[in-house]
Structure 1
Amino acid sequence: MEDLAGYTVAILSDRRRHDLATLLEATSARTINVQAVRSVAQPVAEAVAVATRACVTRPVHEVIVSSGLGLRAWLRVVQQIGHLDALIDRMAHARLLARDGHAADTLRDLGLSQIWATASATTEDLFRYLLAQPMTGRRVVAQIESEPQREYCEALRRDGATVVEVITNRFLPPLRIDILRRLCGVIIRRQVDAVALTGATVTENLLRQAEADGVLDEVLNALTADVVPACLGHLAAEPLRAFGLSPYVANGPALPDLVKVLANQLPEWSLQLDVQGHRVEIRSRAVVIGHQVIPVQPGPISVLRALARRPGWVLSPAEIRAAAPSWADVDDHAVEMAVSRLRRAFDGTPLDGVDLIQTVMKRGYRLAA
């Protein structure tokens, strides 16, 4: 497995800790989990009614049920608009795929008996089962409860299926906006190497908060030049594409696919130097020399990154501050102290004794690389 030690990835999802964090931490990456959207089990009745009418107008080949609770919420709306018998008739002629026993029992309560389920009891496995088959011309109805499930629906469409999404949850902004506000600051200061976006609403909420705080341009600039924007699917990528960005999209909406994208792109985006035959790579929270990972504080890393962008050039403290967003409000003494900490960070490393960061009297500093 790819070693991502020294990299930091911010994960935006509907959970306080996402399963993606476990996969990334297995590669030695550091993760920041941000609950960027609230998923509330309360459907929008009008949207469910529209989706139901689309279900009953034509034959259905596949029906995916994510939960018994969600199915019951759907059926309440269906009963109100008078389409219950028509929906049951369509389901009776379709292949029924239920996430777990509870979802299957809810279908049986409707008089339906031929029901498929997975041993893992995950909706994602149901989608993967369909994606492994030819889907051109197939008509799929999916009762879904999360944004990653919407990415699976989009993947089915790209495989040629017609998909009707019956969304039984609402996707709302987080209760605490300071979470996204702090994340915007972290992105602008380049204190993460990548942002992993798991759905369209999390991307929209991030951009909306950045715009409200007046830092949208700074966030977009970071995601263009220094911080890898990686998306679970095309829906999550679309809000960034609307601003002219080209985010990376996983080949499939499964989490290992997103890990693969990050493992491929993070080394491509990091600053890399050759110092006296040693390969040096600058990451958000560390410097890697060969295969040795040296943790470095965010402030000194910002100064090192500013110097590394123009190796051999002398930069004044004012130019370093201008090039490092996190140093815009500090004085020359803070830059001097950061340089001192940088030099000490390389003690006991292959660069010990190398005059990597040189002081040019009355002018500033340069990186000898």
Structure 2
Amino acid sequence: MAPPARSRRQGDPDAQIAPLAGYSVAVASERRKHVLAEHLAQAGARTIGVQASRSIPQIDQTRLRAATDEVLAGPCDELVVSSAFGLRSWFAAAGRWGLADALLARFGTARLLARDARAADSLREIGLSTVWSTAGACTEDLFRYLLAQPVAGSRIVVQTDTVSLREPCRALRAAGADVVEAPTFQSLRPAYAEHLRRLVDQIVNRQINAAALLGAPATEYLLAEAKAEGRLDDMLNALCDDVLCACLGAGTAAPLVAWGVHPIVGAAPFAEELAVALLEALPRTATRLEIGPHALELRGQAVVLDGRLIPMQAGPLAVLRALARQPGRVVSSAEIRRSIPNWSDVDDHAIEMAVSRLRRTLDGADLVHTVMKRGYRLAT
């Protein structure tokens, strides 16, 4: 995704505003910094990396043995190798089971697709010679290549080293391939539970505008944390109403769908496509109004007033949203409290101060009017 033109300076009405400027997105994956965050930052978003799960390069003997038996039960047309270490670990385990020779023979007739030069070398070490690898050293590129081919009826074996590869495997199955996943890793909860706890807080308190989940474990661990904290219903309500949820694929989304949340997914199970989906969906959440001579757009954590991007604190922006739902109508302090999540204890003075800060932030534009003893209204 190419980076958009960026604003020359805040408040410059002649500068082009990045499409996701003013939005905040949490990216939950097994990494502290995911490539999806880079794509979103190029489009102007503020991103928050959350390690929601972790993968360790350690085989689960039971799962890998079952996968090995499944591989040997049929032909192998394509072999995808995602890591040299994983392949070596697999063959070491197969040797202990007395299956290494049978596994090697099964792969002898397959097309060999390796993530990078090291993975290709690991195949050559066991006696396989004709190997294809990617220039970008990216397993996802191998899946893109396969998904661009007619794979219906093919039997594809994938040595996986990360949970995110489950989604491309799912896409290959949807295209008609018989896919056998041989996992050479284990997926665990994040080392620090506070990462997930903080994400639950950010969703419930509407401190982010979108949550992007990359891999089913990220979804499952987030739901488990919210349940343990007694905030599952609050989080699900936020994801249904105010916080856009995006998932790498249908498998990642499935646990949320079961709870009535319907996340967006990309056109394909890769970070680039998910970034495009967010780039299309987030701007649609903005509220756009024409107020006299002024053009006003309410984004996640900022407003665009007459072509100027103006960052705004959460309180004043929440009040502005409440007024923007009914432009021209007087809205009482009690109605403002009821319309904003977690504001039930906010008193009238605090709302008055939020309105005052809102007026200052709007830099002299006479958009918010006070109607004595009745409330506030947005000019028409």
Q: TM-score, normalised by structure 2?
A: 0.91
Task: Check conservation: 1:186, 1:192, Cα contact below 8 A.
Answer: yes
Map 1:222-241 → 2, pairs under 5 A: 222-241=238-257
Q: How far did 1:133 drift?
A: 0.8
Matches within 5 A, 1:17-36: 17-36=33-52
**1:73-108 deviation line (CA, Å, top 9, x unaligned):** 222332233321211111111011111222122212
Identity %: 51
Residue 209 of structure 1 aligns with which residue? 225
Ranges in structure 2 where 5+ consecutive residues have no aligned partner:
5-17
Query: Considering only aligned residues, what root-mean-square deviation do their CA atoms show, in Å?
Result: 1.7
Give 1:368's match in structure 2, choosing from 349, 364, 379: 379
- CA contact under 8 A between 1:226 and 1:270: conserved in structure 2? no
Deviation readout 1:95-145 (Å, 9 max, x if unpaired):
111112221222122111111111211111111111111110011111111
Q: 1:108 aligned to 120, 124, 142, which one?
A: 124
Preserved contact between residue 13 and residue 37 of structure 1 (Cα < 8 Å):
yes
What's the secondary structure of 1:327's corresponding residue?
A: coil
Partners of 1:108 and 1:159 lie apart in 2 by 30
1:62 equivalent to 2:73? Answer: no
- What is the letter of the counterpart of residue 150 of structure 2? P
Task: Note the 1:112-123 alignment, pairs <5 A.
Answer: 112-123=128-139
Counterpart-to-counterpart distance in 2, 1:208 and 1:166: 26
1:353 to 1:308, Cα distance in 2 relative to 1, 3 A: closer
DSSP-derived class of the 1:203 partner = helix
353 and 246 in structure 1: CA distance in 2 versus 1, 3 angstrom threshold: closer
Partner Cα distance (2:275, 2:174) in 1: 21
Contact 1:284 1:298 (8 Å CA) reproduced: no
| CA–CA separation in structure 1 for the residues paired with 2:92 and 2:71 | 16
Give, as a single letter, the amino acid of the residue that structure 2 aligns with 1:71.
L
**Pairwise CA distance, 1:308:** 2.4
Aligned partners of 2:258, 2:105: CA distance in 1, in Å? 41
Residue 312 of structure 2 corresponds to: 296
- Which amino acid counterpart does residue 243 of structure 1 have in structure 2? W
The alignment status of 1:338 with 2:368, answered yes or no, reads no
- Does the 8 Å CA contact 2:359/2:365 hold for their aligned counterparts? no
Aligned residues of 1:287 and 1:295 also touching (Cα < 8 A): yes
In 1: Cα distance, 2:75 partner to 2:365 partner: 74
Residue of structure 2 equivalent to 1:51? 67
Deviations 1:31-53 (A, max 9, x none): 11111111111121111111111
Alignment of 1:1-369 (within 5 A): 1=4, 3-347=19-363, 352-354=364-366, 356-369=367-380
Write out per-residue CA displacement over residues 242-279 of structure 1, whole angstroms, 9 at most, x where no aligned residue: 11222111011222211111111112222333322533
- SS of the residue aligned with 2:159? strand
Aligned residues: 364
Distance 2:191 2:328 in 1: 48
For 1:301-353, what per-residue CA distance to the aligned partner results, in whole angstroms no more than 9, with x for missing partners?
22222332333443333332332224344332222111111111111xxxx34
Pick which of 331-340 and 84-93 moved more: 331-340
CA positional deviation for 1:290: 4.2
Change (3 A) 1:360 1:289: same
Contact 1:191/1:284 (8 A) holds in 2: no
Paired letter, 1:220: L
TM-superposition CA deviations, 1:152-195 (whole Å, max 9, x none): 11111111111111111111111222222221221122222211
* Whole-angstrom distance in 2 between the partners of 1:42 and 1:299: 47
Rounded to whole Å, the distance in 2 between the matches of 1:187 and 1:279 is 29
More deviation in 129-138 or 183-192? 183-192
CA 191–302 in structure 1, closer or farther in 2 if over 3 Å, else same: same
Give the aligned residue type for 2:275.
Answer: V
SS in 1 for 2:284: helix
Which segments of 5 or more consecutive residues in structure 1 lack a partner in the other structure? none
TM-score (norm 1): 0.93
Q: Secondary structure at the match of 2:86?
A: helix
Could you tell which deviates more after superposition, 218-227 or 302-311? 302-311
